Structure 1
Amino acid sequence: MKKLRETQITLGTALALCLMACAAGIACCYAAFGWRTQAVQNKLREIDAIAAEHYVGAFDAETVADYAAVGYITGLGDQWSGYIPADQYESYQMNTEGKGCGIGVSVVTSGQGIRISLVYDASPAQQVGIRKGDWIVGAEGLTVKADGADAVIGAIQGEEGTEVTVTVRSGEDGRTRDETMTRAVVVQKMAWGEMLADRIGYIRIENFHVGAAEQFQNALDELIADGARALVLDVRHNGGGRVKEMSEMLDPLLPEGTIMTLRTKDGHETVYSSDAEMTDLPVAVLVDEQSISAAEFFAAALQEYGRGPLVGAHTTGKGRAQQTFRLSDGSAVNLSVEQYYTPEGNSLAGVGVAPDVSVGLKEAQQADFYFLIPENDPQLQKACELLT
């Protein structure tokens, strides 16, 4: 595969509840918009002067600066661009690199509480026997019932090497226990496989963060070695990731040709391509309304090359790539800087990808998505049927 520079196409960054960007950081953004610079500066200076003279309350300048940054980025009218406060940048960056600091789990929150949807390999949680489907009841003296899910999740987060005590209820027998773990930097579980009935290999792709391609290749190799005769690739509920990782995953699945084209504001193009070496196993791809960004282009490429049917629901429709720019105070802006196109030159912006076979999930199945077994997953069952 032809390897080019990395471009991040993650789902827009978390818009923190902040309002006014520091002058130095904002000035860098202003410069990129030419004639708008003076108008924005004048507006902020005028508001600042009025507040300084008349506002009777106390305020924190850094908080006001953060909120202004959010306002500026929001004013661009691009849902995929965002602002990252300085105190959130490290965890944001770690996440895009396929890592995280904590006990090594992904969770789903609902009215029923906090349920563990993934346990990462070699993580503190795995080492003490925490499993997918278990419930987090509390942590560090806080409980979900009394203090809320957000407070408990916040208590679990912390610095590497520090201890945290988490109260866990087993998803199997309902027993509750306390587990004390040492927080650690762990690698996310991003792609893994299993053999289904009739020798159909299934690979779940959670995201396309750094390291996902290696995990995907390992899963693919193991399934082929175990005698898989067909593949189901699942990018449902996948929020995206990096173009490089996505391209490396597609390379063994596609013939020689273009995978994706990215185009900047000045018309410069970056092209990712695959080589001629590929597996000839039949393929089906699962997509849904929460297949976003790289997940959509992954599915679109396989569809346009005729590698197999797309099964599920229509995808989101994101067609822009973002780049993160660090500001002088440690915060950052994540801006859409490129349009991207499918192998056939199509933009998915506002359009998305339509499945070849539409199959929906019932409301209860959608709510329980991460815990569906193959027999209770109609989208997966249809994909397997098409490969039989």
Structure 2
Amino acid sequence: MKIGLLGHGTVGSGVRKIIDGKNTKEISQLEISRILVRYEKDITDERMTVDIHDIVEDPDIDVVVECIGGDEPAFRYVQAALFNGKHVVTSNKKMLVNHLEELLETARTRGVSLKYEAACGGGIPWMSNLDRTKRIDDIESFRGIFNGTTNYILTKMSDEGSEFTVALKEAQDCGYAEFDPSDDIDGMDTAYKVVLSSCKGFGVLTSVQDIDIYGIRSISARDIAYACTHDYVCKLIGTGIKLEDGVSATVIPTFIPKENLFATIPANFNAIESDSRTLGKMTYVGQGAGSYPTAHAVVQDLIDLVYKQDILVASEVSVRVDNTSRVSSFYVRSINLDNVQGLIEERIDEDTCITKKISFVQLASLIGKLEDSAVFVAEVMHDCK
């Protein structure tokens, strides 16, 4: 199988090294014919080019691997590759979520496959295991720690009592967090992965704009201290639940009992759990990002294509996101708690409380009423199920 590789950065170079290494019989069936780089000065290999047409219009190339990142020109390149009858493997979650319906439709009409194992969970075989489970069972729900950057930050705060800004700086120094970490700490990265997991697990298309998303930007050492003294660990959790006529989808910091498996996931690791009727709960733990873990997932998709596994693209349907039926208690810290006195179950101190059991819709309304840019909210998981 001849491959056109778009991008030779962190992930792309990892893909190239694994395939060029020819370490297994399966990998020996893969060959990188062309590599797209951005500038002429980046050309260090005779296979490299700065012209996308050398790849998407080459009749000998069977599959295009997109590791550029970002929305454009990645979307334009992937769409052109699919239109020209080439399978596509991508690790680009943001581009996928922004254009998922259009890309899937192009793949279907052109009779090719769009594979994205590496876009969700890095080296964890999450997407492929959803596929395997669905051969026997309907996926009823999933939840997990989808973002290694926030997990690293929260682990540092819990283990060392660090303030958020200190832990974030350490994450940036280690290369886990970008210079602009907004997508990670505001929950958007996790939300993209919830959309992709819903597509693969439930066979539905949802909009990231419809998901209730709350990040960890305003968390403080004080919030972590409360969690610790009450035998909780704080994690940023993405959740999807299949409903009769739609899905519930959320991203929110969660106080998890210390005996729960998610509470033990350290540093930049991810942990994602699916729940289905006959298999029950299955949890997958591993590196959620990085050059080799993500490249490993890309190459797994390529090997699946060699053996013609999961070639056809299913017909996903668009559904609504409805979080009104999911209720829970929430930890809320705000200087304006008196604005929501009727929703308070337990007053911890002047500006911290635990709410009565309310829906996510009520939670969003609650935050609006507080009129506090520094408010922090976390779901409180009362059991370890």
- In the superposition, the TM-score normalised over structure 2's length comes to 0.26
TM-score (structure 1 length as normaliser): 0.26
More helix per residue: 2
